[in-house]
């Protein structure tokens, strides 16, 4: 495809890269999930989003339109985003599985693994300040072995990036009691973003994958012009008052599971330790 421009005459490298990834997703035959589907659902949104949301897998409506979260749970998600001050046009939305599983079943681990690299390249291209995981399957990418009922609504720093695990909107639609919980968690998004901004200003950007992009050299690996300072896998808190007000939480270090994206830092096996909450 030709150079894509956004407003100015300069090609938007993120947009171009995301379009390329989306084309690859549409042609992907790495697992059987594409069989019987109408459309792949690579993801959509603002290539420069501060907030990236990651859901599970497309359903019937998403399969019909080739767009994420356009059914009932998507409407609910859109409402919560707007209420939090983030219209859909400002965020990027993707899923851990890019084709609809038959009968809307959960995506299987090997299907999620087959899509993992696409998702990682999207994360690297967008380089969002905050990732919001929606539901168990995307939570497991960043918090393997954790229970969503224990960690929902608690932002943590994972491989240098702030990740906010939330319940899936569909779960909240089906279980009335979860609706208020999800809405309350969602309403913290602006303050999570603000704290993530402060942290980035202090410790730098999250690490970006060494993915060769568009053949145009040195910028940074994802073709994303950005800070030359890169946050460590687990960044220090920006200042004492923030640490004092948000405290510490004990979690296990990122797990080098097979489906773990290759590029978000080199997986290391370390014992559980206290990691600073944002």
Positions touching ligand URA (CB under 6 A) are 41, 55-59, 62, 68-69, 73-74, 95, 170
The 10 Å Cβ neighbour count of residue 238 is 17
Q: How far is the CB of 62 from ligand URA (least distance, A)?
A: 4
**Looking at the chain, which runs of residues are DSSP E strands?**
44-45, 51-55, 92-95, 130-134, 156-158, 161-166, 248-251, 273-276
Cβ proximity to ligand URA, 249 vs 259, nearer residue:
259
Which tokens hold the place of 155? 């932002």
Question: Taking the mean position of all CA atoms in its chain, how far away is CA 225?
Answer: 20
Cβ proximity to ligand URA, 76 vs 209, nearer residue:
76
Cβ proximity to ligand URA, 166 vs 237, nearer residue:
166
Cβ proximity to ligand URA, 69 vs 92, nearer residue:
69
What CA–CA distance (Å, rounded) separates 222 from 209? Answer: 7
Cβ proximity to ligand URA, 60 vs 227, nearer residue:
60
Phi, psi of 277 (to 5 degrees): -75, 155
Q: How far is the CB of 107 from ligand URA (least distance, A)?
A: 9
What CA–CA distance (Å, rounded) separates 246 from 241? Answer: 9
What CA–CA distance (Å, rounded) separates 16 from 1? Answer: 8
What secondary structure letter does DSSP report for 274? E
What secondary structure letter does DSSP report for 50? S
263: CB partners within 8 A, 6+ apart: 120, 124, 208, 209, 210, 211
Which of 44, 25, 168 is CA-nearest to residue 99? Answer: 25
Q: How far is the CB of 126 from ligand URA (least distance, A)?
A: 17
Q: How far is the CB of 55 from ligand URA (least distance, A)?
A: 3
Cβ proximity to ligand URA, 45 vs 128, nearer residue:
45
- Number of residue whose CB is nearest ligand URA: 55
Q: How far is the CB of 253 from ligand URA (least distance, A)?
A: 27
Q: How far is the CB of 174 from ligand URA (least distance, A)?
A: 12
Radius of gyration of the CA atoms of the chain, in A = 18
Q: How far is the CB of 182 from ligand URA (least distance, A)?
A: 13
Cβ proximity to ligand URA, 95 vs 220, nearer residue:
95
Euclidean distance between the first and the last CA atom of the chain, given in angstroms as a whole number: 40
């Amino acid at each position: 495809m030709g150079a894509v421009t956004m407003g100015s005459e300069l090609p938007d490298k993120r947009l171009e890269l995301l379009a390329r990834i989306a084309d690859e997703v549409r042609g992907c035959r790495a697992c059987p999930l594409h069989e019987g589907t109408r459309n792949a659902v690579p993801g959509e949104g603002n290539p420069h989003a501060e907030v990236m949301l990651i859901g599970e897998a497309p359903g019937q409506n998403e399969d019909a339109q080739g767009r994420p979260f356009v059914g009932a749970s998507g409407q609910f998600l859109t409402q919560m985003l707007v209420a939090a001050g983030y219209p859909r046009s400002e965020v990027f939305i993707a899923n851990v599985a890019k084709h609809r599983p038959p009968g809307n079943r959960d995506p299987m681990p090997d299907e999620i693994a087959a899509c993992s690299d696409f998702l990682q390249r999207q994360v690297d291209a967008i380089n969002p300040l905050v990732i919001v995981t929606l539901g168990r399957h995307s939570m497991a990418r960043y918090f393997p072995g954790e229970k969503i009922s224990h960690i929902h609504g608690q932002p943590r720093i994972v491989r240098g990036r702030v990740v906010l695990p939330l319940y899936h909107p569909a779960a909240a639609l089906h279980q009335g009691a979860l609706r208020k919980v999800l809405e309350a968690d969602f309403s913290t998004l602006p303050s999570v973003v603000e704290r993530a901004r402060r942290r980035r200003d202090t410790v730098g950007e999250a690490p970006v994958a060494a993915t060769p992009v568009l053949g145009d050299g040195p910028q940074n690996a994802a073709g994303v012009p950005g800070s030359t300072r890169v946050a460590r896998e687990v960044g220090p808190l920006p200042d004492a008052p923030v640490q004092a007000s948000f405290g510490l939480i004990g979690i296990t270090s990122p797990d080098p599971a097979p489906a773990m994206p290759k590029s978000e830092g080199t997986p290391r096996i370390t014992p559980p330790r206290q990691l600073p909450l944002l």
